[in-house]
Chain A
Amino acid sequence: MKVIALLFLLLAGTALQAFIPALTWLGYASTPVLGAIVVYYTLFRGGAMMLAAALLGGLFQDSLSLIPIGYSSFGFAVGALIIERYREVIVLQSPLTHMVLTSLLHAGVTVFLALMLVQGDLIGWQPGWLLLKVGGAAVLGLVAGPVIVGLTHLLEEKLGLIEGNSDDEGAKRTYYGIG
C-alpha cells in the first residue's frame, strides 16, 4: 500500500508540477511538488522509500521534459541522502523545516541541472537568467514546501499509512493541527 501511495503521489506530483504555469520574474522556475514529496519521504520514511521517492521522482520529472533521464534522479537522491544525514538534529514537524529543506533541495537541484545542461551544451550559458531561476526555485520551495508536505502527510494519514507505523515516531504526532 505504501508503494502504491508513493507511486500515486509521484504521478500526481509530476502532473501538477508540469502543468503549473511558471512565472517570468521567477526565472521560469517550476513549482517543487516532487521536491517536497522527496523531502517528506526523507523526513518521515527514510531508507528504501526515501531512495525510491528520489530516484522515481527524478525519473518522472525528466521524462516529461527534454532533460536527459537520470539528471534529476541524481540531484534528488543526493539531496535526500544529505538531508537524511541531519535528520536527527532537525525538527521534523515544523513547517519552517519543510520550507527551508524544500527550498534548499529545489535550488540545489536547479543549480545541478543548470551545470549539467550547460556542460553538455544543451542550454546556453545565461548567468543572469540562471541566477534568477535558482532564486525563483528557492522562493517557490519556501511557498510550496509546507503545503505539499502537509498534503502528503494528510493523504498518508487518510490511507492509514501513518497509524501503527512504529518506525515513524515523528509522523505519528499531530501535524500542523491536521493529524
Chain B
Amino acid sequence: MSARSDWQDWNVVNDRTLIRWVIVAVVVLALLNLPASLSSGIKAMFRETARPLQSAVDGLVGAGRHFFTSVGRIPSLARENDQLRLEVARLQAERNQTRALEAENAELRRQLKFSPPPETEWIAAEVLARSRDGWWQTIRLNKGSGHGIAENMAVVSLDGLVGKTVAVSRNTADVLLLSDPACKVSARVLRTGSFGVVNGRGPSWSGQVFCRMEFIHKNDDIEPGDEVVASGLGGVFPANIPIGYIDRIATDHSGLFQQADVITHADLGNLRYVFVMKRKEAGL
C-alpha cells in the first residue's frame, strides 16, 4: 500500500514537472514566433516607457561621476588653478592661430564634400544613453519614427560615420556603432580607390575604438594615413562619408587580401550629438 502511495506521489510530481516544461515550451515558442511587427511594437513600448527614466539615470550617473572625480581632485586644485591661469594665457595666444586653422578645416571639409548629399536630409539628434548590456555597441537617440527616422539609416557626427539605426520607436532610435563587429560598411580608400569592407573590432581594454578594413586587393598600394570613406555600395551608407584613416596594414591569413586597422574619425566613445541621414523622397 505504501509503495503504491509513493508511486502515486512520484507520478503527481512528474506530471506537475511535465506540465511546467510544457508551459515553458509553449510560451517561449510563442514569444520566439511573434510577428515582427508585434515584437518590435513590444520593444518600442518598453523603450518609450523607459525613455524618461533612462535620460534621468544617465544624467545622474554623469553627475555622480563628475562629483566623485571632483572630490578626488580637491588636493590638487590649487596647483591646477595656477596651471590653468598659465593655460588661459597660452590659449589666448593660440586663439588667433586656431581661427586660421578653422577656416582651413572648413575648406578641407568642403573639398572632401562632407556635407549632406543632395538626396539626403540630416536629422539632428542627441544621444540619450549608451547600451549597457554589452552584447552590442549601441547608443540610443532621443528621436525616432515620429521625426522621420527608420531602420537602416546612416548616422554621422560632424567628424565622420558613426553607424546605422537598427531599432526605432516613436521617440527613440538605437544606433549600432561602427565599432561593433556586426556593423559592416562597404568602403574605399580615397587615394587609391581600393575597395574593402570596414567592420568593428568590438570592445578593447584601452577603450580605444578601432575598426578593420578587410578584403583589400593584395596588390593595392595603400599606406598608413590613407583616408577611408564609405563606398556607397550596399544602399545604407551614402558614398564619400569619411570613416577614418588607415593605421596598420597586414596581409590576411589567406594571403589573397590585405587588411588594415582603421582609426575612426568620430569619437565613438564620447558622442553627444549626431545626425541621422534620411534619404529624400523621389520628386522632392
Residues of chain A whose beta carbon lies under 8 Å from any beta carbon of chain B: 15, 18-22, 24, 27-30, 47, 51, 54-55, 59-60, 62-71, 73-74, 77-78, 81, 85, 113, 117, 122-124, 126, 129, 133
Contacts and interface: CB of A to CB of B under 8 A. Distances in A.
A64 B47 contact: yes
A19 B58 CA distance: 8
Q: List the 8 closest pairs (A to B, CB-CB), nearest first.
A: A28-B134, A124-B181, A70-B31, A63-B46, A70-B32, A19-B57, A77-B24, A74-B28
B202 A126 contact: yes
6 contacts: A59-B31, A63-B43, A66-B136, A73-B27, A123-B182, A124-B181
> Which residue among B134, B138, B202, B207 has the maximum number of chain A CB atoms within 10 Å of its CB?
B134
A32 B23 CA distance: 24
Interface of B: 17, 20-21, 23-24, 27-29, 31-32, 34, 39, 42-43, 45-47, 50, 53-54, 57-58, 61, 131-136, 138, 166-167, 174, 181-182, 202-203, 205, 207
Secondary structure dominating the interface of A: helix
A19 B182 contact: no
From B28, B29, B43, B182, name the one whose CB has the most chain A CB atoms within 10 angstroms: B28
Given A66-B136, A123-B181, A123-B182, A19 B203 contact: no
A63 B31 CA distance: 11
B134 A51 contact: no
Contacts of A27: 134
Contacts of A68: 32, 39
Contact of B28 (A65, A66, A70): A70
B34 A69 contact: yes
A114 B50 CA distance: 25
A21 to B, nearest CB: 6
Nearest to A67: B135
B185 to A, nearest CB: 15
